[in-house]
A and B are shown apart, each in its own frame.
Chain A
Amino acid sequence: MAHGPAKGIGRWLYATNHKDIGTMYLWFSFAMFILGGAFAMIIRAELFAPGMQLIKPEFFNQMTTMHGLIMVFGAIMPAFVGLANWLIPMQIGAPDMALPRMNNLSFWILPFGFSLLAATLFMEGGAPNFGWTFYAPLSTTYAPPTVNFFIFGVHIIGASSIMGSINIIATVLNLRAPGMTLMKMPLFVWTWLITAFLLVAVMPVLAGAVTMMLMDINFGTSFFDAAGGGDPVLFQHVFWFFGHPEVYIIILPAFGVISAIIPTFSRKPLFGYSSMVYATSAIAFLSFIVWAHHMYTVGMPLAGELYFMYATMLIAVPTGVKVFNWIATMFGGAISYETPMLFSIAFVILFTIGGFTGLMLAMAPADIQYHDSYFVVAHFHYVMVAGAVFSMSAAVYYWLPKWTGKMYSEAMGKTHFWLAFIGFNVTFFPQHFLGLAGMPRRYADYALQFTEWNMVSTVGAFIYGAAQILFLYNVIRTIVAGTPAPEEKTWEGAEGLEWTLPSPPPFHSFSTPPEVK
């Protein structure tokens, strides 16, 4: 019997194939990226000039909240899960993921989770309006009634992430080709293995936080209400115990992508493979013990402030090791600048800038001024957008010829890159200035002295947004009408098992395990 995909819609509904599920994850995340991006455009358009021109402050708050939630949980996380689905079996020499039916379930509950969330936009009282960090009591006692939909949406999204992670752990630990020891795995597999453990550890904490909210709102408990013996700050501790590992959940797979692409286009092996693995593990460990650096102004005791400051500063060490390694890999290579490499180099530069501002934010006395200002907004967009999204763009251009068997348009790819690079920096670099000058984040309207840089930022945002349309067009054009890609190796410097498969790879990636020396 021929092993190929089923015909029609059934291929997708009942999909158990890692590539089909990966494809669905990637398209889903791109749809969410466009939706979250549309919200960002509304935010930036309103902030172009002082005064309320387009929307009301209450709707503005819904937009910032939904933008954050959709981008973090809908765009970035599923995008990397999709990438993991496509690549991990091919990179470790396996036929498929270890738990294909759970794979199907973990994808197919996502659209329901996000439908619950997005449907709140059309309900009485409007969508969640308490920020993506949903601090109590704004998100409990003072929340719109739609908060319950948000809570169930988060539960579903969390369940999906946990199942996806278990699948990745099971696959990596059980399905590696003979001879592929842990320390021979590609770094993308390593970073995802560590990410999956982080997810399994902290998604239940998020579920706990929203369940406590649910109880406070509907069943008369007082976890986060001081009047009933609870503590609003408890919410922040629980949230950030999830939230800080979450930012590494987002960035670690990106590290894996960059660690694959830079050696390829430098035509030189990664400088320090084992130190990269150790640095990733160290970052993952530290991510659990630094959460309250998001809470320097909350009124912690001095000892707490100092501890969290020191622990947070320590993260700079393993992160530095990563950056130094990428640069040492490029050094002395024979570098060429195809689109994936351009995105990767931009990643290293901009992520490092985001790392510098991260170190600045770790310094508690200075953070008293930065906290909750646009400086923070600039910082985390440097690591989220220039980090996660740029690496995702790099990954798509890098592996698209392998996935589809067709080559994308290099000219269009480079145009996308330059538009995105310029648009991104014009959007977010001025936000450092705004924050330092005193503009708080999540402001629907602002004082006159902030006008100029807000205008610049808005112009940049629309350039960045337009660049993504070009990206979409380029990908579709590749799939529909791309020129055939080289048989196996698209890139001369590429290493790894996925490049030993034909392009596009067979439905069941490796039906006989490859030999790994």
Chain B
Amino acid sequence: MLSRLKQLVVYALNPLVLLSCAGMASAKEAGSDQPEGWSLLNMPVGVTESARNSYDIHMYVIWVCVAIGVVVFGVMIYSMLAHRKSLGHEPATFHESTTVELAWTIIPVFILVALAVPATTSMVERYDSSEADIDIKITGYQWKWQYEYLGEDIQFMSELSTSEPAIYGKESKTEYYLTEVNEPLVIPVGKKVRFLVTAKDVIHAWWVPDLGVKKDAIPGFINETWTRVEEPGIYRGFCAELCGKGHAFMPVVVNVVEADEYAQWLADKKAAVAAERELANKSFTLEELMAKGEEAYNRSCASCHMANGEGIPGAFPGLKASPLTLGPVADHIDMVVNGSATNAAMQAFGGQLSEVDLAAIITYERNAWGNDALGDDDKIVQPIDVLKFKQGQ
């Protein structure tokens, strides 16, 4: 404890620690041993050309600033110590010197040019997203990411898997608290992967520090960026643009794997998609739907409507004994599949979730929190009902 305290005092008082510890802090985070928080002082070097480039320019400009700082603050501190009135120092009267003033205007310009050259080169490289091996569309939603492998018929949602009790201190926090998801983005090592970044509701930003990629996801527009990761591993990132109350709760996790592993994953994923489609024709019991529904509801709906179905008064409507969940089933399916026409916060979940999940959620909402004893008698919705509704539109 005491040594920690000492460390803290040293760090807090000495700005240059930032620099002296730069090398040490850049230790890679991938793998299970996360560095201790105290030593996290600098930008990660990362595992891509772009990230290294950012890091190099960052260090370059830091050292330039340190050099300028040493001179400027050196003169200042010297004069603060030596030219004190209490030492009886008599004030000089000099002022205005064209030579000096020209020098301190022109020299910085040269320093700036020296900084701008490598930065320009780096930007030009960064903007070349041509000749990609794989195209992945990333869509930001409040508050999750959707990954769509273009041309592969694979798309899935990637959502925070940290539990709500852990966030509210009712369960202990595990190692990857708030940086873990139900399903990470999987990409192969060494391939140029182009990301087409957009959003469905508000602006988000997809950021993975180790990849040196940050791009705003803007509704109605598609931004391009790319990466070529050099080392397999799991890389964690965040949403970087304020997007509402779940802003801190939509992490990015990228699993970079070897090419053969990627091919295997791709095949498995396609098989799983086909199996999921098959399930849409199956009939489920109420218990099955309720079990699936509770899990899917807590993942996709509870952040606004709350786990107890009571919503947040004034912001998000409750579903407990609400006209929607007790009313005609067709309206309920329509709301979940197509979203609300009047309130943009209620997304269209039809394209986000499978028919099985949609049916399970609707069934769960019509039966949970005492809703089963109230209102309309249509309590069970099967995946095929949802599928028919979608096809009927």
Contacts and interface: CB of A to CB of B under 8 A. Distances in A.
A joins B in a complex:
yes
A443 B248 contact: yes
A365 B247 contact: no
B141 interface: no
A226 B219 contact: yes
Contacts of B283: none
Contacts of A138: 202-203, 242-244
Contacts of B244: 61, 129, 138, 142
Given A299-B223, A360-B61, A430-B12, A267 B215 contact: no
Contacts of A269: 93, 95
A499 B155 CA distance: 73
A335 B100 contact: no
Given A332-B83, A333-B92, A57 B249 contact: yes
Given A321-B105, A333-B83, A437 B40 contact: yes
A328 B216 CA distance: 44
B360 interface: no
Q: Report which residue of B55, B89, B100, B214 has the largest number of chain A beta carbons within 10 angstroms of its beta carbon.
A: B214
A453 B43 CA distance: 15
A316 B84 contact: no
Interface in A226-251: 226-227, 231-233
Nearest to B90: A334
Contact of B15 (A331, A353, A441): A353
B315 A125 contact: yes
A305 B123 contact: yes
Contacts of A131: 242
B47 interface: no
B40 A334 contact: no
Contacts of A56: 245
A336 B85 contact: yes
Contacts, number: 328
Main secondary structure of the interface of B (DSSP, over half): mixed
Given A368-B214, A443-B248, A327 B79 contact: yes
A447 B179 CA distance: 7
A144 B343 CA distance: 11
A50 B37 contact: no
A232 B217 CA distance: 11
Interface in A56-86: 56-58, 60-61
B392 interface: no
A273 B96 contact: yes
A480 interface: no
A436 B55 CA distance: 10
A314 B44 CA distance: 28
A58 B214 contact: no
A130 B247 CA distance: 11
Contacts of A299: 215-216, 218, 221, 223-224
Interface string A129-141: 1110001011001
Interface residues on A, range: 35 or more
A126 B315 contact: yes
Given A124-B313, A447-B177, A453-B40, A369 B54 contact: yes
Contact of B201 (A135, A142, A356): A142
A449 B34 contact: yes
B216 A448 contact: no
Nearest to A331: B79
Interface stretch (A2-10, A16-24, A344-352, A504-512): A344-352
Given A50-B178, A138-B203, A365 B119 contact: yes
Contacts of B97: 271-272
B61 A327 contact: no
A207 interface: no
B115 interface: yes
Given A232-B220, A365-B119, A438 B245 contact: no
30 contacts: A57-B245, A137-B202, A137-B344, A144-B314, A226-B218, A226-B221, A231-B220, A232-B221, A268-B91, A272-B96, A302-B127, A306-B120, A321-B105, A324-B104, A335-B83, A352-B72, A359-B65, A363-B58, A364-B123, A365-B57, A366-B54, A366-B58, A369-B43, A369-B209, A429-B15, A436-B40, A437-B43, A441-B242, A447-B251, A450-B37
Interface of B: 8, 11-13, 15, 18, 25, 34-38, 40-44, 50-51, 53-55, 57-58, 61-62, 65, 68-69, 72-73, 75-76, 79-80, 83-86, 89-97, 100-101, 104-105, 108-109, 112, 115-116, 119-120, 122-124, 126-127, 142, 166-169, 173, 175-179, 201-203, 205, 207, 209, 212-216, 218-221, 223-224, 236-249, 251, 312-315, 344-345
